[in-house]
Amino acid sequence: MIGVVIRPEQSAVVEEFFQLFKTPWEIFQPGRAYDVVIATADDLPAVEATPLMVFGSEIRRDDSPRGITGQTKRGGTLLRYGGTRVPIYGSVLVFDKAVDGTPFLEANGAASGIKVESEQGTVLRVGYDLFEEIESLLSSGQPIENAHFPTLDLHIAMLRDWILEVGVTFVEIPPAPAGKQFIVSLTHDIDFIGIRDHKFDHTMWGFLYRSSVVALHDFFRGRISFGRMVKIWRAAASLPLVYLGWAKDFWIPFDWYLEVEKNLPATYFFIPFKNRAGDKVSTCHAERRATRYDVSDLGDWTKRLQDAGCELGLHGIDAWHSVERGRTESERIAGVSRGGGMGIRMHWLLRDENTYRVLEESGFTYDSTDGYNETIGYRAGTTQVFRPLGRQTLLELPMHIQDGALFYANRLDLSEDEAWKRCADMIDDAKKSGGVLTLLWHDRSHGPERFWGDFYERLVGKLRTMNVWFGSARQVVEWFRKRREVAFERNPSDGGTVQIKLRGPGGNISPPLTLRVHSPADADGRFRPADVSWNGESEQSVETLIRHASLQPVMPQ
């Protein structure tokens, strides 16, 4: 059990942090035994012979008796931990070279984390406030230049390492189903359902321009092959036949996605009302946000998609700023949607500081707008579904990889080889941290003039070969919601042993969770993680799990 000593205003962010780093913890209570104590508060309790981790960017009263001195630096620092770099957005304390301790964290060539041994026990002094960093990530998010850092997940990984380093064995529930490395959620924002509705408007003229001038330019700079350029020109030449109904509308996406994603659940976010650009749109060409279709134009596609196991969600117009309009838009999609609560991703990813409150009051169960238009990566620094600070029921499914961000000329403008490397790096991150990798591929992306379908097919094919669980957005969010309902509670009738139990309505968790016992490295430097699959139907004792793990054979690294 971890005892946490914090400032009162940090209680909400601490609670959310330990939903992401799912391990036994509680607010420190004098007289209780703890395996490790984590502190950010100014006044520390007396903790004898218990490893203590003290976070903060200012020199504290209790630093002086330990011979710790240093100076505070401004934020915007990249820490180095082994071979890993970690952005810090608040202030950082660097320690003087004369400090008698073992450095384990570096900031700009100076120690920002030191391990001090004394008769009172082991102290890890870390020169930033962990919970301030988590609050910043969940509230403000990361700037585009740091989007490639899974910063919040790195904070969890470092804390996990440090707990093991001070010799503590502990239980964690990782953010991936039992036996799986991570989760994949395939999503599609549907802004068009064909080019036939676009005659002599900016969409048609833009398509012809990109199919001629831009395609030729992309060919000469090596972005597309000659064969692909010819396919684009043929599509442009066929446009009159498409309008006459004599040729297939090459922008209708559903058959193609159902084939590429066969037997995989995907989520389609649909526009509720056509010809509505929405209010409070401050970006250029705001009028172009209006679409020529809405959910009523889909015909039997809503049934066919759901029969294939797909989910229908809302591609919101004004739901990001208006509770009344959010409810109206939600009802429009709910009229054709099956299943549980309604999820949303905002059209053009619009949001402000009040959006999470508005969405929760509108009745949405989850949002999936947390991502970038300009790049791919981790806006909140994590692959995990999280609850926005201050909310009670709304969960956020972060969006990570977007087609337009990869390939648009005014965004990353990557070649397919470069894009593959970027996606492979994010897959590696997910293999290390678990969580969910959320992909967004738009309606037009499989066909002319983009032809990004081959890349998507290759990406989905790669993920199929891996040990992952594919879930629709709603399925993934509800799995994380079940994980959040798991509680670690002391049993006063059994000497204060810690029990793992499922709160709320109970029932079966499918796919099941993993109860993982982490043990410090042995004399040969090998770790001994032991996993137990758990579906939530019976209580588990932490002490029993740890005893059981101690009897298991050593697993090689």
CA distance 438 to 472: 10
Region 263-267 average pLDDT: 98
Angle at which helices 323-334 and 355-362 cross, to 10°: 50
pLDDT of residue 533: 93
Banded pLDDT at 291 (limits 50, 70, 90): very high
Nearest to 344 by CA among 292, 362, 352, 264: 362
Banded pLDDT at 556 (limits 50, 70, 90): very low
CA distance 253 to 310: 14
CA distance 91 to 132: 10
The structure tokens listed for 522 are: 């042995």
State phi, psi for 62 to the nearest 5 degrees: -80, -5
pLDDT of residue 504: 65
Arithmetic mean of pLDDT over the chain: 92
Region 380-402 average pLDDT: 98
pLDDT of residue 527: 67
21 burial type by CB count under 10 A (0-12 exposed, 13-18 middle, 19+ buried): buried
Banded pLDDT at 223 (limits 50, 70, 90): confident
Domain range list for the chain: 2-164, 182-194+251-479, 485-550
State phi, psi for 289 to the nearest 5 degrees: -70, -20
315-364 residue pLDDT tens: 999 999 999 999 999 999 999 999 788 999 999 999 999 999 999 999 99
pLDDT exceeds cutoff 90 at 2: yes
Region 389-399 average pLDDT: 97
pLDDT exceeds cutoff 90 at 523: no
Q: Which residues are registered as beta bridge partners of 498?
A: 490
Backbone angle region of 263, left / alpha / beta, with phi > 0 → left and psi within -120 to 50 → alpha:
left
pLDDT of residue 557: 36
pLDDT of residue 495: 66
Of residues 117 and 260, more confidently modeled: 260
The structure tokens listed for 20 are: 């992401």
Backbone angle region of 395, left / alpha / beta, with phi > 0 → left and psi within -120 to 50 → alpha:
beta
487-496 residue pLDDT tens: 998 887 776 7
| pLDDT above 90: percentage of residues in the chain | 75
The tally of CA atoms less than 13 A away on the side-chain side of residue 67 is 11
The answer to whether 367 and 333 are in contact (CB under 8 A) is: no
Q: Compute CA 167 distance to the chain's CA centroid, rounded to the nearest angstrom.
A: 30
Q: Note the helical H segments in 465-533.
A: 473-484
CA distance 47 to 166: 15
pLDDT of residue 552: 55
Region 42-62 average pLDDT: 86
DSSP letter, residue 166: T
121-178 residue pLDDT tens: 899 999 999 999 999 999 999 999 999 999 999 999 999 999 999 999 999 999 999 9
Nearest to 3 by CA among 30, 31, 25: 25
Q: In what order do the strands lie in the sheet with 530-534?
A: 170-172, 513-518, 530-534
**What does the radius of gyration of the chain's CA atoms come to, in whole angstroms?**
26
The answer to whether 15 and 387 are in contact (CB under 8 A) is: no
pLDDT exceeds cutoff 70 at 459: yes
496-508 residue pLDDT tens: 778 888 776 667 8
Architecture in CATH of 2-164: 3-Layer(aba) Sandwich (3.40)
Region 222-250 average pLDDT: 91
pLDDT exceeds cutoff 90 at 74: no
pLDDT exceeds cutoff 60 at 553: no
Domain 2-164 and domain 182-194+251-479 have a common topology: no
pLDDT of residue 507: 74
| Three-state SS at 154 | helix
The amino acid at 478: E
pLDDT exceeds cutoff 50 at 555: no
CA distance 327 to 363: 7
Fold of the domain built from segment(s) 182-194+251-479 = TIM Barrel (3.20.20)
The structure tokens listed for 111 are: 């120690």
Nearest to 35 by CA among 401, 496, 555: 496
